[in-house]
Amino acid sequence: MRGPWRAALALALHIGFFLAPIALVLGLLAISAFTFRYDQSSGMKAALAAVAVGALFAIGLRAVLRSRVRPRGVRLDRAEQPQLWRMVESIAADAAAPLPDEIRITSDPTANIREDTALLGLRIRTRYLELGLPLLAALNVSELRAVVAHELGRLTGRSKLTVTAYRASASVERTVDGLTGGPVKWMFTGYARLFTAIAATTGHDLELAADAIAVREAGTRAAATALRKRIAIELGWQEYSDEYLSMAKAVGHTPDVLLGFRNFMEHPTRKPELAERVKKAIAEGEDGSRTHLPARRRIEAMKRIKVSGRDIDDRPAFALLRNPRKSVPDLEDRLMVDGLKRRLGWPELARLAGAAHVAERAALLSSAVAQSGLPVEPAIAGILPAIHRGQGHDLINPVLNPGLCPERIDEAAVDTLTELLGSAVVDALICARRAHHELDWGGPSTVRLANGQPLDPDRLIRPAVADPRLIPGLHRALVDLGVPMTHARRPAAEPEPSLAGIVSPVQCTGGNYDLLVTDRGLVLLPSSASTTKRLLAGTLARFRKAEQEQLAELAATPIGELRERPGAQWVDSRDVARARLDQDRAGWSLSLELYLDEYAVSELDDIGVQDGEDGVSELVLRSTADGVEHGDPYRGLGELMGARMNLDETDDTNEGEGPGF
């Protein structure tokens, strides 16, 4: 069953979701009224039962119906950007689609229509058309027109029933994601699974209808190209953020985001590489989902649509903005993280970020040398002889991940020592004004010597680190390059742990704790949440909001401050010998074997740590039935423990839900 019939069935079920409890309560009231005529006592009991059932349904519906869509990004006024608004209005008029209430620019590499609705999608409050800033950088005007036409086309479709069913499905899924644990979520999740299963194909029907509108508005070529580019933009934006926008955060300056992304996407090395990845993704259908058809099927459907040819407007999409030289930087500033300093060009930004990075890594090398306990000076002139004596692994061991597989330790030691020593060499040259980092949109910044020649630190350092007999030759090469051999950075301070996620609460001997998983260890904070509060959080919006705010406040608090709170416990990753995770129907338990000798850096009071054999102690944490999560604690726990983690899943685990790694 497809098309309007399936949408009609989904909407009938959705309307029944509201009518069924009303009918039940009215039925109970009718029974009480009828019974009251013959037996007042029984009639009163029936009436009380009707009131109790009605109150429970009212509380549950209130929790479900409070889900809201909040505006994101920067709002574009019609008076400020008339050309972009005229394009949207023209498309909406041609497609007989409702006009969005607001156009907003976001930092996401996509475009979509977000609707704030009531009654789980049956009534519309506000429509937002969101356009990602990366799209304005990488698309031309015709391609942007196709993208906007596709998004507005989702609001009209071939049938109003299909549009409404799709909107309701999106609202139901959003509501499930927003509910915490408790009876309301347990029951509503079951309904959501049934409803989305019935409404499963409405998204596909709308996708094809929206593509047809995009082809009519922009032409087949522009619509198909825009679809391919949207995939490339999503792939490229992640790399661009990791490799280039991270520079802005490192040095605290605002970059030219849109200009940089356009240079990134058009680079001769990046462009064919991204094109190949997009081609592979389309061929394998990796971009398909329950609500979105694979791009390959969509492009094939576009080619079958007969439309008259349209001229391609190949101006960059940001040309639709009024005075782009002024409006684009203003949008970037409003979307960037607060606290960044004045705007810098990309070449200077890359130079400063490169210098800051190698200085940080050189300080980490000095810290490793200091923690190794070896009588070695942290200067390059002191480290090279130590490597020559075969002490390289001992020098770098303090900064290696304690969760590494034993088979990978030697390889990791060579890689880490090569990277840190190479950074120290480059840092020494930069401080001596004999080298600098040069921006490269095709890959990592190049280290450029004063004479204009590039320097590859890895190629220079790795052979001697892998074979210490080559150290004398490396020493001569560094002297010839003019590296100050006495250069050294002060040891880096202990890094602040980075939070991965929270599980609240977990059980440990003596009470309940909030478990905070970081990249350096575990924090256990005494939990004040009772089972009653958890159940209320799943039922009443006020309690749910308070709980979410409490977890968000914990996540925003520096780990150092949390460790100073009364009753806080700290399990340092370096003290963990082994970890075992057992999963069953009731939940999970995590057993940690700890080295708590005089060298331990964990901070544990008497919270149920049991002494074991060979000086190894054991700490056991157990999940609770009403526990909630914030962030991604299980992924963080898996990364923290690494090869030390042993997973044991019973046969019953497959019937329930357990943490995933």
C-alpha distance across the termini of the chain, in Å? 37
pLDDT-derived band at 599, boundaries 50, 70, 90: confident
d(CA 90, CA 86): 6
Asked whether residue 194 carries a pLDDT value surpassing 90, the answer given is: no
| 3 state SS of 429 | helix
Q: 499-531+543-647 has which CATH code? A: 2.30.29
Asked whether residue 432 carries a pLDDT value surpassing 80, the answer given is: yes
What separation in angstroms does the CA of 443 have from each of 152, 438, 440, 582? Answer: 37, 11, 6, 43
Amino acid at 495: P
Supply the Cα-derived Rg of the chain in whole angstroms.
30
Tell me what pLDDT residue 614 has: 66
Residue whose pair of structure tokens reads 């390959």 in the numeric block: 296
For residue range 146-192, what is the model confidence (pLDDT) as tens digits?
999 999 998 886 678 888 888 888 888 888 877 766 677 778 888 88
For residue range 52-90, what is the model confidence (pLDDT) as tens digits?
888 888 888 887 887 788 889 999 999 999 999 999 999
What separation in angstroms does the CA of 60 have from each of 50, 333, 561? Answer: 15, 42, 37
Tell me what pLDDT residue 181 has: 61
d(CA 69, CA 417): 49
Do 362 and 489 touch, CB atoms closer than 8 A?
yes
Selection from 425, 429, 421 nearest residue 462 by Cα: 421
Asked whether residue 389 carries a pLDDT value surpassing 90, the answer given is: yes
Selection from 287, 324, 281 nearest residue 110 by Cα: 287
d(CA 111, CA 129): 8
Residue whose pair of structure tokens reads 């490396």 in the numeric block: 474
pTM for the full predicted model:
0.79
Tell me what pLDDT residue 550 has: 83
Q: Give ∠ CA 644-511-557 in degrees, rounded to 5.
A: 70
Report the relative pairing of strands 645-649 and 576-584 from DSSP bridges: parallel
d(CA 450, CA 456): 14
What separation in angstroms does the CA of 511 have from each of 474, 529, 582, 622? Answer: 58, 11, 20, 11
Burial of 360 (0-12, 13-18, 19+ CB in 10 A): middle
Percent of the chain with pLDDT over 90: 51
List residues bridging with 581 in a β-sheet.
590, 647
- Alpha helices by DSSP H, 471-538: 471-481, 531-537
Amino acid at 560: G
Selection from 418, 457, 452 nearest residue 435 by Cα: 452
Long-range contacts, stretch 384-393, CB < 8 angstroms, 24+ apart: 384/471, 384/474, 384/475, 385/471, 387/417, 387/464, 387/465, 387/468, 387/471, 388/468, 388/469, 388/471, 388/472, 389/468, 390/468, 392/417, 392/465, 392/468, 393/417
For residue range 88-117, what is the model confidence (pLDDT) as tens digits?
999 999 999 999 999 999 999 999 999 998
Q: Hey, where are the domains in the chain?
A: 3-65, 80-335, 345-481, 499-531+543-647
pLDDT-derived band at 345, boundaries 50, 70, 90: very high
Tell me what pLDDT residue 657 has: 47
Do 551 and 502 touch, CB atoms closer than 8 A?
yes
Do 437 and 351 touch, CB atoms closer than 8 A?
yes
Asked whether residue 520 carries a pLDDT value surpassing 60, the answer given is: yes
